[in-house]
């Protein structure tokens, strides 16, 4: 095999996170940045998300996915980031040696710093164990989005959607606009998984019913899907007897969650976070292995691309700094999620700079506050009119607030 | 009158509490995290509009479809009519983000514009 290609920063994944990280790594002074993308185009999921709503935080306007991606693709090109398309990363070592496969065969890359920005894939029927036959016509919502919006393929005429995640809601509208009948959206939880805005503009606008506490208990059909059995579920997720009903349909879309593509991160041995299923990172987005960084949806599932972008830009700057100088501020302050919060990222911080913390609550909360405390003293309190598990909370804490940290421990929690 | 309107401008989806009358319009607004909610809420009460996003088939492009949107947003009541108008129109590559592909669609004063760059194949 030829000797490895040497680069300062290698970014794995050319979606919104990878594009932003690569552009900023170059902008922050890395001499050579290599972006690795397995698809034949950069942009990732944004290429198929033709709906609008992207960019309201970063650009103060609602762009569509392709428009948002084009901005960062242009930036990467202007800054002369080298991009390898149709390239899959098969291995990453803790010495930052990357093995890739593409048309040129197998190649290796020695990177000063590596940013893992591999995003998520969709949870499938197998992952949720739905009973019944195995006919054609059962898809994940994101694949249908790709068929319809990128490849110009239609999937069916009468559709049931299981799961009220955002992609499912957006596809309910998309299928309706393209002439299919969306019979209903069924959600196993007592509350919708997607954001409230999508319930309005994707379901209510088109009178599509949403059934909560409801799941697909059986799939019917031999060659092609002929229908599904819906059933109500009780508080312990058991089926409620006598609530089964057959719904005729030729297509079932699953929008039942995203799984971070962490194979490379896990393979190289970085410490993983129990709640996010992504890596544990500090406020420079360093993982537990020196020189390996992570950002975007593989780190934590974002519901707003703007926040994935902002996070990835920071990761890009930090990776460039580490690659060029071998130095980043020591992150010795531990963060923990207290009352009401599932997690808080980053998990360690230096306290030498402001930090944008990201969190998710366990349940819907009204008129509560997010509070950062150390040694019983409040460092920062922010009133939140409305919090829900479907919405990531993002709170900036200024550098000055970390002066009063006691014993290098901070807890974030929800209070009245 | 008091209404709660979910702001759909961004994914935060603020459930905005609005006080309004037919005569004076919006007289009070709270529970919103940014200014974008002000215009949205007023529009939703008196002239509801939506950005329709879809795609159109492309001849001779490196993508088979170009994604498009209405600009500015069209009246909500005309969404399906506008879709009928867009469906069936083919466009020719190359196309750049922002190119007007149908101007003044159905006399709404709104254009259908490209949201993706499509190069000639």
Determine the distance in angstroms separating the CA of A371 from the nearest CA of chain B, rounded to an integer: 18
pLDDT at A1 over 80: no
DSSP string for B53-94: EEEEEEESBSSSEEEEEEESPEEGGGHHHHHHHHTT--EES-
**How many distinct structural domains can be found in chain A?**
3
Nearest CA to A17 out of A311, A329, A410, A226 is that of A311
Domain boundary among A197, A223, A256: A256
A132 and A251, same structural domain?
yes
On the CB side of B23, CA atoms within 13 Å amount to 0
Residue B108 in contact with partner chain A when CB distance is under 8 A = no
A247 and A284, same structural domain?
no
Residue B55 in contact with partner chain A when CB distance is under 8 A = yes
Residue B65 in contact with partner chain A when CB distance is under 8 A = yes
pLDDT tens-digit series, residues A138-171: 999 999 999 999 999 999 999 999 999 889 999 9
pLDDT at A363 over 70: yes
A371 C-beta neighbours (distance < 10 Å), count: 20
A107 and A23, same structural domain?
yes
pLDDT at A413 over 90: yes
A251 and A132, same structural domain?
yes
Q: What is the pLDDT of residue A127?
A: 73
Q: Cα separation of B19 and B40, whole Å?
A: 14
Select the residue of B15, B69, B97 nearest A196 (Cβ to Cβ). Answer: B15
- As a whole number, mean pLDDT of residues A364-372 equals 94
pTM above 0.80, yes or no: yes
Domain membership of residue A386 as a residue range? 330-416
What CATH number does residue A163 fall under?
3.50.50.60
Going by pLDDT thresholds of 50, 70 and 90, the confidence category of residue A250 is very high
Residue B89 in contact with partner chain A when CB distance is under 8 A = no
Going by pLDDT thresholds of 50, 70 and 90, the confidence category of residue B7 is very high
Determine the distance in angstroms separating the CA of A179 from the nearest CA of chain B, rounded to an integer: 10
A375 and A270, same structural domain?
no
pLDDT tens-digit series, residues A30-86: 999 999 999 999 999 999 999 998 998 899 888 999 999 999 999 999 999 999 999
A149 and A133, same structural domain?
yes
A293 and A375, same structural domain?
no
A114 and A44, same structural domain?
yes
Chain B's closest residue to A66, CA to CA, is: B116
Residue A153 in contact with partner chain B when CB distance is under 8 A = no
A274 and A240, same structural domain?
no
Q: What is the pLDDT of residue A180?
A: 97
The class that CATH gives domain B53-114 is: alpha beta
Nearest CA to A141 out of A247, A224, A256, A219 is that of A256
Q: Cα separation of A20 and A16, whole Å?
A: 6
Going by pLDDT thresholds of 50, 70 and 90, the confidence category of residue B11 is confident
A103 and A65, same structural domain?
yes
pLDDT tens-digit series, residues B94-120: 999 999 999 999 999 999 999 999 999
Chain A's closest residue to B72, CA to CA, is: A62
- The residue count of chain A comes to 416
CB contact under 8 A, A64 and B67: yes
The residues that bridge with A331 in the sheet, in sequence order, are: none
pLDDT tens-digit series, residues A220-232: 999 999 999 999 9
A191 and A162, same structural domain?
yes
Q: Which two tokens stand for residue A47?
A: 């290429």
A414 and A323, same structural domain?
no
Mean pLDDT of chain A: 95
pLDDT at A18 over 70: yes
> What is the complex's ipTM, to 2 decimals?
0.93
Q: Tell me the domain boundaries of chain B.
A: 2-47, 53-114
């Amino acid at each position: 095999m030829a000797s490895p290609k040497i680069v300062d920063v290698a970014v794995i994944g050319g979606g919104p996170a990878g594009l932003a990280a690569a552009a900023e790594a170059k902008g922050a002074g890395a001499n050579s940045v290599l972006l690795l993308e397995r698809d034949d185009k950069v942009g990732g999921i944004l290429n198929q998300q033709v709906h609008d709503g992207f960019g309201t935080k970063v650009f103060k306007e609602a762009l569509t996915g392709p428009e948002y991606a084009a901005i960062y693709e242009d930036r990467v090109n202007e800054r002369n980031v080298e991009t390898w398309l149709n390239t899959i990363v098969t291995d990453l070592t803790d010495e930052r040696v990357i093995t890739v496969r593409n048309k040129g065969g197998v190649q290796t890359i020695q990177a000063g710093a590596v940013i893992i920005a591999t995003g998520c894939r969709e949870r499938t029927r197998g992952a949720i164990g739905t009973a019944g036959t195995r006919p054609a016509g059962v898809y994940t919502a994101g694949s249908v989005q790709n068929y319809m919006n990128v490849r110009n393929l239609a999937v069916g005429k009468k559709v049931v959607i299981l799961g009220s995640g955002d992609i499912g809601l957006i596809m309910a509208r998309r299928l309706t606009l393209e002439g299919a009948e969306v019979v209903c959206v069924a959600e196993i939880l007592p509350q919708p998984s997607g954001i409230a805005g999508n319930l309005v503009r994707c379901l209510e606008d088109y009178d599509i019913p949403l059934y909560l506490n409801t799941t697909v208990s059986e799939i019917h059909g031999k060659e092609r899907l002929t229908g599904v059995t819906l059933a109500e579920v009780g508080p312990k997720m058991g089926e409620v007897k006598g609530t089964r009903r057959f719904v005729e349909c030729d297509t079932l879309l699953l929008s039942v969650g995203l799984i971070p593509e962490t194979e490379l991160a896990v393979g190289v041995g970085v410490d993983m976070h129990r709640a996010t299923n992504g890596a544990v990172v500090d406020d420079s987005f360093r993982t537990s292995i020196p020189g390996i960084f992570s950002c975007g949806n593989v780190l934590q599932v974002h519901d707003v691309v703007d926040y994935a972008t902002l996070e990835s830009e920071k990761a890009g700057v930090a990776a460039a700094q580490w690659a060029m100088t071998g130095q980043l501020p020591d992150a010795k302050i531990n963060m923990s999620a207290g009352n009401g919060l599932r997690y808080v990222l980053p998990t360690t911080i230096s306290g030498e700079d402001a930090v944008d913390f990201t969190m998710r609550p366990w349940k819907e909360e009204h008129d509560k506050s997010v509070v950062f405390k150390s040694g019983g003293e409040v460092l920062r309190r922010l009133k939140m009119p409305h919090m829900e598990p479907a919405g990531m909370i993002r709170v900036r804490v200024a550098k000055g607030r970390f002066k009063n940290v006691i014993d290098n421990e901070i807890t974030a929690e929800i209070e009245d | 009158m008091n209404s709660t309107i979910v702001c759909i401008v961004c994914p935060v989806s603020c459930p905005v509490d609005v006080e309004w009358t037919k005569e004076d319009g919006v007289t009070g607004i709270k529970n919103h995290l940014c200014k974008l909610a002000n215009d949205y809420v007023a529009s939703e009460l008196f002239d509801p509009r939506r950005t329709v996003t879809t795609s159109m088939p492309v001849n001779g492009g490196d993508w088979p479809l170009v994604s498009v949107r209405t600009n500015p947003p069209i009246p909500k009541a005309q969404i399906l009519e506008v879709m009928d108008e867009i469906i069936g129109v083919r466009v020719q590559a190359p196309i750049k983000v922002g190119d007007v592909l149908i101007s003044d669609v159905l006399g709404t004063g709104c254009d259908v514009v490209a949201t993706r760059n499509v190069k000639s194949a």
